[in-house]
Chain A
């Protein structure tokens, strides 16, 4: 089970590797078992498993066991951790912009 109380920096760092980002982006489109995921990537299956471990530890993906297969999917709470900071910041900035634009008069 992934730890969800991560600092955003963990998620940022986990997505630094280009192959890992590709793995993440493919899972963002649809959940996949390791084998299928590795089939479409120019790296070995053990390497894909390694990348998945890092993404899982950063709280970006989760794994569900389906019979003998391990199916990975993007953990929406992990993405939230990354976006959260900027999201809150822009809410504040855009509200301040709105107030300024409405306060001002056209001369």
Chain B
């Protein structure tokens, strides 16, 4: 499993840290990183398991980012990040973003962050590539299969490079 882990301390009480992360995401999310055509207006997490995670643009349109996999306020949150490496929503891609919030003091919270299953971006890249190459790829595949079947003396090597 390929993952990114981070830990940070926030000078804020536990409840507030969780609330700002989940309910006010649009207020702090870097505006440059979004997928809609119009400028980013808000980023919304529906506060329940299976809730949508989506962006709202200035023109009123919405785009899905993923969904809520675990919702345990104010201590834990797991989101399905379903944007591929080109920042496009891919319903078949599920990478997980987990946040855990721990009280360190009345106004201090530790946040443990993990973005995991990054190896799954490989599948998304492959689908993207296949999508672009459909047509010629199919013709060549069909040709290759026919050629292998026709040549009984040749042992096929499993797995395409």
Contacts and interface: CB of A to CB of B under 8 A. Distances in A.
B159 A17 contact: yes
B20 A104 contact: yes
A54 B160 CA distance: 10
Interface string A82-100: 1101110111111011111
A: contact size bracket: 35 or more
A58 B125 CA distance: 13
B157 A12 contact: no
Contacts of B8: 94, 98
A20 B144 CA distance: 21
A87 B2 CA distance: 12
A64 interface: no
25 contacts: A11-B122, A12-B85, A13-B125, A13-B126, A15-B122, A16-B122, A16-B125, A16-B126, A17-B122, A46-B157, A47-B159, A54-B161, A82-B118, A83-B118, A86-B115, A89-B30, A90-B113, A92-B30, A97-B10, A99-B28, A100-B20, A100-B24, A100-B27, A101-B11, A101-B21
Given A9-B85, A96-B28, A47 B158 contact: yes
Interface in A52-107: 53-54, 79, 82-83, 85-87, 89-94, 96-102, 104, 106
Contacts of B124: 12
Interface of B: 1-2, 4, 6, 8, 10-13, 15-17, 20-21, 24, 27-30, 33, 85, 109, 111, 113, 115, 118-119, 121-126, 129, 157-161
Q: Is the interface of A mostly helix, strand, loop or mixed?
A: helix
Contacts of A85: 85
Contact of B161 (A53, A83, A89): A53
A17 B120 CA distance: 10
A10 to B, nearest CB: 9
Contacts of B157: 44, 46-47, 50
B4 A87 contact: yes
A14 B125 CA distance: 9
Nearest to A79: B2
A91 B4 CA distance: 10
Given A43-B158, A101-B20, A102-B12, A93 B122 contact: no
B81 to A, nearest CB: 9
A72 B107 CA distance: 49
B100 to A, nearest CB: 13
